[in-house]
Structure 1
Amino acid sequence: MIGDEEEVTSIVNRLRRAHGQLAGVIGMIEDGRDCKDVVTQLAAVSRALDRAGFKIVATGLRECMLDDADRPAGENLDVAQLEKLFLALA
Protein backbone atom coordinates (compact mmCIF):
# COMPACT_ATOMS: atom_id res chain seq x y z
CA MET A 1 0.00 0.00 0.00
CA ILE A 2 1.35 3.41 -0.93
CA GLY A 3 -0.35 5.33 1.85
CA ASP A 4 -3.67 6.50 3.12
CA GLU A 5 -6.47 7.52 0.78
CA GLU A 6 -5.50 11.20 0.83
CA GLU A 7 -1.89 10.44 -0.16
CA VAL A 8 -2.99 8.06 -2.90
CA THR A 9 -5.33 10.74 -4.27
CA SER A 10 -2.51 13.29 -4.23
CA ILE A 11 -0.16 10.93 -6.08
CA VAL A 12 -2.79 9.95 -8.65
CA ASN A 13 -3.57 13.63 -9.27
CA ARG A 14 0.12 14.36 -9.86
CA LEU A 15 0.33 11.49 -12.31
CA ARG A 16 -2.82 12.57 -14.13
CA ARG A 17 -1.41 16.08 -14.46
CA ALA A 18 1.83 14.65 -15.86
CA HIS A 19 -0.21 12.49 -18.24
CA GLY A 20 -1.97 15.59 -19.55
CA GLN A 21 1.31 17.45 -19.88
CA LEU A 22 2.81 14.55 -21.82
CA ALA A 23 -0.19 14.49 -24.16
CA GLY A 24 0.45 18.20 -24.70
CA VAL A 25 4.09 17.55 -25.54
CA ILE A 26 3.09 14.89 -28.07
CA GLY A 27 0.67 17.36 -29.63
CA MET A 28 3.40 20.00 -29.76
CA ILE A 29 5.71 17.62 -31.60
CA GLU A 30 2.98 16.60 -34.03
CA ASP A 31 2.22 20.28 -34.69
CA GLY A 32 5.88 21.00 -35.41
CA ARG A 33 6.34 23.39 -32.50
CA ASP A 34 9.70 24.94 -31.69
CA CYS A 35 12.23 22.58 -30.10
CA LYS A 36 12.82 24.95 -27.18
CA ASP A 37 9.12 24.95 -26.27
CA VAL A 38 8.89 21.17 -26.54
CA VAL A 39 11.95 20.61 -24.37
CA THR A 40 10.66 23.07 -21.76
CA GLN A 41 7.36 21.22 -21.52
CA LEU A 42 9.09 17.84 -21.52
CA ALA A 43 11.20 19.00 -18.57
CA ALA A 44 8.00 19.94 -16.74
CA VAL A 45 6.62 16.44 -17.33
CA SER A 46 9.84 14.94 -16.03
CA ARG A 47 9.69 17.05 -12.84
CA ALA A 48 6.06 16.07 -12.30
CA LEU A 49 6.92 12.38 -12.58
CA ASP A 50 9.91 12.81 -10.27
CA ARG A 51 7.74 14.51 -7.66
CA ALA A 52 5.19 11.69 -7.82
CA GLY A 53 7.95 9.10 -7.49
CA PHE A 54 9.55 10.87 -4.55
CA LYS A 55 6.15 11.13 -2.86
CA ILE A 56 5.64 7.39 -3.28
CA VAL A 57 9.09 6.57 -1.88
CA ALA A 58 8.76 9.06 0.99
CA THR A 59 5.38 7.64 1.94
CA GLY A 60 6.80 4.13 1.85
CA LEU A 61 9.75 5.18 3.98
CA ARG A 62 7.48 6.76 6.56
CA GLU A 63 5.35 3.64 6.69
CA CYS A 64 8.47 1.47 7.09
CA MET A 65 9.64 3.66 9.95
CA LEU A 66 6.22 3.54 11.62
CA ASP A 67 6.13 -0.23 11.23
CA ASP A 68 9.56 -0.38 12.90
CA ALA A 69 7.91 -0.42 16.32
CA ASP A 70 6.14 -3.66 15.37
CA ARG A 71 9.26 -5.23 13.89
CA PRO A 72 10.65 -8.22 15.82
CA ALA A 73 14.00 -7.73 17.54
CA GLY A 74 16.88 -8.38 15.18
CA GLU A 75 14.87 -7.70 12.02
CA ASN A 76 16.23 -4.56 10.34
CA LEU A 77 14.63 -2.08 8.00
CA ASP A 78 15.81 -2.91 4.50
CA VAL A 79 17.84 0.27 3.97
CA ALA A 80 19.49 -1.13 0.85
CA GLN A 81 16.10 -1.59 -0.80
CA LEU A 82 15.06 1.98 0.12
CA GLU A 83 18.36 3.31 -1.21
CA LYS A 84 17.80 1.44 -4.47
CA LEU A 85 14.34 3.04 -4.82
CA PHE A 86 15.75 6.53 -4.27
CA LEU A 87 18.55 5.94 -6.76
CA ALA A 88 16.07 4.69 -9.34
CA LEU A 89 14.56 8.17 -9.31
CA ALA A 90 17.88 10.00 -9.42
Structure 2
Amino acid sequence: MNAKTPARAVPGYIDSKDEQLRRLRRIEGQVRGLQKMVESDTYCIDILTQVSAATKALEAVALGLLDDHLKHCMSDLADGSETDRSQKLEEASAAIARLVRS
Protein backbone atom coordinates (compact mmCIF):
# COMPACT_ATOMS: atom_id res chain seq x y z
CA MET A 1 0.00 0.00 0.00
CA ASN A 2 1.36 3.45 -0.85
CA ALA A 3 0.57 6.84 0.64
CA LYS A 4 -2.28 7.41 -1.84
CA THR A 5 -3.91 4.05 -1.26
CA PRO A 6 -6.79 4.27 1.20
CA ALA A 7 -6.90 1.62 3.89
CA ARG A 8 -9.85 -0.68 3.19
CA ALA A 9 -10.77 -3.74 5.13
CA VAL A 10 -11.65 -5.69 1.96
CA PRO A 11 -10.15 -5.12 -1.49
CA GLY A 12 -12.49 -4.82 -4.47
CA TYR A 13 -11.13 -7.98 -6.07
CA ILE A 14 -11.85 -10.17 -3.04
CA ASP A 15 -14.61 -12.10 -4.84
CA SER A 16 -12.33 -12.87 -7.80
CA LYS A 17 -9.07 -13.23 -5.88
CA ASP A 18 -8.61 -16.94 -6.64
CA GLU A 19 -9.25 -16.37 -10.33
CA GLN A 20 -6.83 -13.44 -10.42
CA LEU A 21 -4.15 -15.48 -8.65
CA ARG A 22 -4.64 -18.35 -11.14
CA ARG A 23 -4.23 -15.95 -14.03
CA LEU A 24 -1.12 -14.39 -12.50
CA ARG A 25 0.46 -17.80 -11.89
CA ARG A 26 -0.25 -18.74 -15.51
CA ILE A 27 1.37 -15.48 -16.65
CA GLU A 28 4.35 -16.18 -14.41
CA GLY A 29 4.74 -19.51 -16.19
CA GLN A 30 4.49 -17.78 -19.56
CA VAL A 31 7.28 -15.37 -18.59
CA ARG A 32 9.47 -18.23 -17.37
CA GLY A 33 8.81 -19.90 -20.73
CA LEU A 34 9.93 -16.73 -22.49
CA GLN A 35 13.19 -16.77 -20.56
CA LYS A 36 13.79 -20.36 -21.63
CA MET A 37 12.99 -19.47 -25.24
CA VAL A 38 15.63 -16.73 -25.19
CA GLU A 39 18.14 -18.99 -23.44
CA SER A 40 17.64 -21.64 -26.12
CA ASP A 41 17.93 -19.14 -29.01
CA THR A 42 14.34 -19.58 -30.19
CA TYR A 43 13.30 -17.79 -33.38
CA CYS A 44 12.47 -14.13 -32.66
CA ILE A 45 8.96 -14.22 -34.12
CA ASP A 46 8.03 -17.17 -31.90
CA ILE A 47 9.22 -15.26 -28.84
CA LEU A 48 7.32 -12.14 -29.91
CA THR A 49 4.17 -14.21 -30.32
CA GLN A 50 4.52 -15.43 -26.74
CA VAL A 51 5.29 -11.91 -25.47
CA SER A 52 2.06 -10.77 -27.09
CA ALA A 53 0.13 -13.57 -25.38
CA ALA A 54 1.62 -12.69 -21.98
CA THR A 55 0.84 -9.01 -22.55
CA LYS A 56 -2.79 -9.78 -23.39
CA ALA A 57 -3.04 -11.97 -20.29
CA LEU A 58 -1.73 -9.12 -18.10
CA GLU A 59 -4.19 -6.75 -19.73
CA ALA A 60 -7.02 -9.15 -18.87
CA VAL A 61 -5.90 -9.16 -15.22
CA ALA A 62 -5.71 -5.36 -15.21
CA LEU A 63 -9.17 -4.99 -16.73
CA GLY A 64 -10.59 -7.44 -14.21
CA LEU A 65 -9.06 -5.51 -11.34
CA LEU A 66 -10.36 -2.24 -12.78
CA ASP A 67 -13.84 -3.70 -13.16
CA ASP A 68 -13.76 -4.94 -9.56
CA HIS A 69 -12.54 -1.54 -8.40
CA LEU A 70 -15.31 0.30 -10.20
CA LYS A 71 -17.97 -2.05 -8.83
CA HIS A 72 -16.69 -2.27 -5.27
CA CYS A 73 -14.45 0.62 -4.33
CA MET A 74 -16.38 3.30 -6.17
CA SER A 75 -19.86 2.06 -5.25
CA ASP A 76 -19.98 4.35 -2.23
CA LEU A 77 -19.31 7.57 -4.17
CA ALA A 78 -22.84 8.87 -3.55
CA ASP A 79 -22.27 8.70 0.21
CA GLY A 80 -18.94 10.53 0.17
CA SER A 81 -18.09 14.19 0.11
CA GLU A 82 -17.58 16.05 -3.14
CA THR A 83 -13.82 15.97 -2.48
CA ASP A 84 -13.89 12.20 -1.97
CA ARG A 85 -15.92 11.68 -5.16
CA SER A 86 -13.63 13.89 -7.15
CA GLN A 87 -10.51 12.20 -5.80
CA LYS A 88 -11.83 8.68 -6.51
CA LEU A 89 -12.91 9.63 -10.04
CA GLU A 90 -9.51 11.19 -10.74
CA GLU A 91 -7.80 8.08 -9.39
CA ALA A 92 -9.91 5.78 -11.59
CA SER A 93 -9.39 8.01 -14.64
CA ALA A 94 -5.62 7.98 -14.10
CA ALA A 95 -5.63 4.18 -13.80
CA ILE A 96 -7.61 3.87 -17.03
CA ALA A 97 -5.23 6.28 -18.77
CA ARG A 98 -2.23 4.18 -17.65
CA LEU A 99 -3.89 1.05 -19.05
CA VAL A 100 -4.65 2.72 -22.36
CA ARG A 101 -1.11 4.08 -22.72
CA SER A 102 0.55 0.76 -21.92
1:87 maps to 97
2:30 to 15, 21, 36: 21
* Counterparts of 1:3 and 1:76, CA distance in 2: 20
Q: CA deviation at 1:58?
A: 1.0
For 1:37-76, what per-residue CA distance to the aligned partner results, in whole angstroms no more than 9, with x for missing partners?
Answer: 000001101111111011111101111343235x245452
% identical equivalent positions: 25
Which blocks of at least 5 consecutive residues in structure 1 are unaligned? none
- Measured in 2, the distance between the counterparts of 1:89 and 1:73 equals 27
TM-score (norm 1): 0.85
TM-score (norm 2): 0.76
For residues 30 and 72 of structure 1, the distance between their equivalents in structure 2, rounded to whole angstroms, comes to 53
Structure 1 stretches of 4+ moved >3 Å: 72-75
User: What is the RMSD of the two structures over their aligned residues, measured on CA atoms?
Assistant: 1.6
Report SS of the residue matched to 2:76. helix
> How do 1:68-87 and structure 2 match up within 5 A?
68-69=77-78, 71-72=79-80, 74=82, 75-76=84-85, 78-87=88-97
The answer to whether residue 39 in structure 2 is matched with residue 60 in structure 1 is: no
Q: Can you give the 5+ residue segments of structure 2 that lack an aligned partner in the other structure?
A: 1-10
